[in-house]
Amino acid sequence: MVALSRTEPKPVSEGMTEISNFLRDIPIVDAHHHLWDLDRHHYPWLGDRMNPHFFLGDYSALRRNYLPQDYRRDAAGHNVVATVHVEAEWDRADQVGETRWLSAVADVAGMPTALVGHAWFDDPRVEAVLEAHAAYPRMRGIRSKPARPGQAPGDEDEARGSMRDPAWRRGFALLARHGLSWDLRVPLAQLAEAAELVGAHPDIAVVLNHTGFPWDRSAAGLEAWRRGMRTLAERPNVCLKLSELGLRDRPWDYEENRRIVLEAIDLFGVDRCMFASNFPVSGLRITYRELYDAYKRMVADLAPAEQLALFHDNAARFYRIDTSAAATTGPH
């Protein structure tokens, strides 16, 4: 195991709840991050024209290589023992290429520990794509973003198909055959539709990305978010990633985001939530060290077993990661 350099985490702000030594050094399974090598591989959203619809606005700072050494530098100061790489919109002409590349990266660098790949569920060749992904030992799941209702064909937001389309649903159902989970990433308006879908497939483990994207922080917006989240939380096969709390038009706000995180935990329960970084994307608003400092302070009043569940146990269980093996082989 290549150790992270340990330094004192930087406080998010003065006067916040202090964290215990247990929480300061708690083992972390980062349930959601990305890597990319723009010199060798094609990611249209990073290498071609900028996407004006990107949820954090200008993301030109992301148009650079982000590799294991960059992740380790950002994560220094926190005890990351395993990581989950989620597909980063690699060129869709070669959907398994990213999995092949990341598996080779992990063989050398010891990270990522687990992989979430991509497949279009409405593609007639979807079963062959899933089989190819599943042949890699680190593969755990698929993220495939359904199009938004009314999304224009020329919209640069990368998504395709409909959760109501029979062909899409047939492809989605194949996840169970291959032992793969689904990383669900949809905006608030689609949470109820997603709840219907996953309720019809209780044999597929699902994890909602990015806290359900509570972008509208008005009273009405947060109430709509609660309704959608509550509907999904009623499905026992759905877990939640507490991640990506950044907003397009304002700085990262600890108190506001703390309220959202604690409410999300209350809706889903401690045993179905997991913290994740979404780095390097979240780095547009907050550093990795500040982010995990904030997470730790948000849950400083919970019992140690609950803290361990949120930072380590739930993600390890969902993504079938043996962190005793990770301690021997990596990721850091």
Give per-residue pLDDT as tens, 189-244.
899 999 999 999 999 999 999 999 999 999 999 999 999 999 999 999 999 999 99
**Helix, strand, coil fractions of the chain, as percent rounded to 5:** 40, 15, 45
How many Å apart are CA 174 and CA 182, to the nearest integer?
11
Which 3 state secondary structure label does DSSP give 13? Answer: coil
- For the stretch 303-331, pLDDT in tens is 999 999 999 999 999 999 999 865 434 45
Please check whether residue 277 lies inside any domain of the structure: yes
Please check whether residue 269 lies inside any domain of the structure: yes
Give the number of other CB atoms < 10 A from CB of residue 157: 16
Beta-carbon contacts of 299 under 8 Å, excluding residues fewer than 6 positions away, are 23, 261, 262, 265, 306, 307, 310
- Asked if residues 260 and 221 have their Cβ atoms less than 8 Å apart, the reply is no
Please check whether residue 15 lies inside any domain of the structure: no
Domain span at residue 196? 21-329
Which 3 state secondary structure label does DSSP give 140? Answer: strand
Please check whether residue 130 lies inside any domain of the structure: yes
Beta-carbon contacts of 327 under 8 Å, excluding residues fewer than 6 positions away, are 1, 81
Please check whether residue 6 lies inside any domain of the structure: no
User: Is residue 10 pLDDT above 70, yes or no?
Assistant: no
How many Å apart are CA 159 and CA 186, to the nearest integer?
10
- Name the residue among 25, 35, 27 with its Cα closest to residue 138: 35
- For the stretch 257-267, pLDDT in tens is 999 999 999 99
Please check whether residue 3 lies inside any domain of the structure: no
- For the stretch 33-71, pLDDT in tens is 999 999 999 999 999 888 888 999 999 999 999 999 999
Say which DSSP state 278 is in: -
CATH number at residue 292: 3.20.20.140
Please check whether residue 5 lies inside any domain of the structure: no
CA 252 to chain CA mean position, Å: 18
DSSP calls for 287-314: -HHHHHHHHHHHTTTS-HHHHHIIIIIH
Number of domains forming the structure of the chain:
1
Per-residue confidence at 149, pLDDT binned at 50, 70, 90? low
